[in-house]
Amino acid sequence: MLWENDARLAIERALAEDLGSGDITTEACIPADLAAEARFVAKQELTLAGVELLPLLFDNPLLRRRSGDRIHPGEEFAIAGGTARTLLSRERVTLNFLQRLSGVATHAARFVAAVEGTGVRILDTRKTTPGLRALEKMAAAAGGVVNHRMGLYDAVLIKNNHIRLAGGVRMAIERARAIGKPIEVEARTHAEIEEAIECGAARILLDNMTPEQAAKEIEFIGRRAEIEISGGVTLENVRGYAEARPDFISSGAITHSAPAVDIHCGIYAV
């Protein structure tokens, strides 16, 4: 999978950060040959993500559920076996990944549910934890969100700073044509929208507009370009934006403001 290499690197860094020279408490208290199993249980309603990382942390774990599954409080979704020392020394790192990624997936699922029936697709953004973008975007997708660009390398998005430095919307678009990719342009004013349409932008991003402003501009644009709404979008107001009938709504809150979910890991001798 595309995210597996990123996951391996992230896990290596996390374990090195936590273990350092060794788990001195576990090594002092727990016999080296004691076998055990770790049972992962949801403590709240959540959308699961990151469970596919468990085989990178433990040998042959039993995965009862998959990323994207809705998990109920008290439900056991995975079991990992091994020495008690290994399970104890990796418990916190494992929970950090599961709680963070499932938090993103759960928050993403709430955004998707909030616009149900409108036909609008929710997009994530690049507002991710440094070094964890691939994993957090995987988690967002598990919650039903459509991944926007992974980085600066895979899509053209002309933003307000590009426009200012290039000398205007038209100049920025004309220069970007050489790349040969569809061009998306961020627009904050009606004049910028008109110019982007005249220049053949494939998608227009309506930035930091109220739902009422966005609805007027969407009516003006018609079907001449795809329309994305972004800027200030929250779980509380996303439905209002969706009722303006854009094609997409993007929100950085899906990743940068997702609260971790409550997952318990119980470790038992076997």
Active site residue 127: yes
DSSP string, 133-201: HHHHHHHHHHTTPBP--SSTTS-EEE-HHHHHHHTSHHHHHHHHGGG-S-EEEEE-SHHHHHHHHHTT-
**Active-site residue, selected from the candidate residues 39, 64, 92, 245:** 92
Q: List, in order, residues 6 or more apart from 5 with CB less than 8 Å away.
A: none
**Active-site residue, selected from the candidate residues 37, 52, 91, 207:** 207
Active site residue 186: yes
* Residue 134 near residue 2, CB atoms below 8 Å: yes
Strand-strand pairing, 70-71 and 46-47 = antiparallel
* Residue 138 near residue 104, CB atoms below 8 Å: no
What's the rounded Cα separation, in Å, for the pair 85 and 31?
A: 8
Active site residue 43: no
**Active-site residue, selected from the candidate residues 126, 159, 170, 245:** 159
Active site residue 243: no
**Active-site residue, selected from the candidate residues 65, 126, 127, 170:** 127
**Active-site residue, selected from the candidate residues 124, 136, 184, 186:** 186
What's the rounded Cα separation, in Å, for the pair 109 and 142?
A: 8
Any idea what DSSP says for residue 120? P
Active site residue 92: yes
Report, as residue numbers or ranges, the catalytic residues. 92, 127, 159, 186, 207
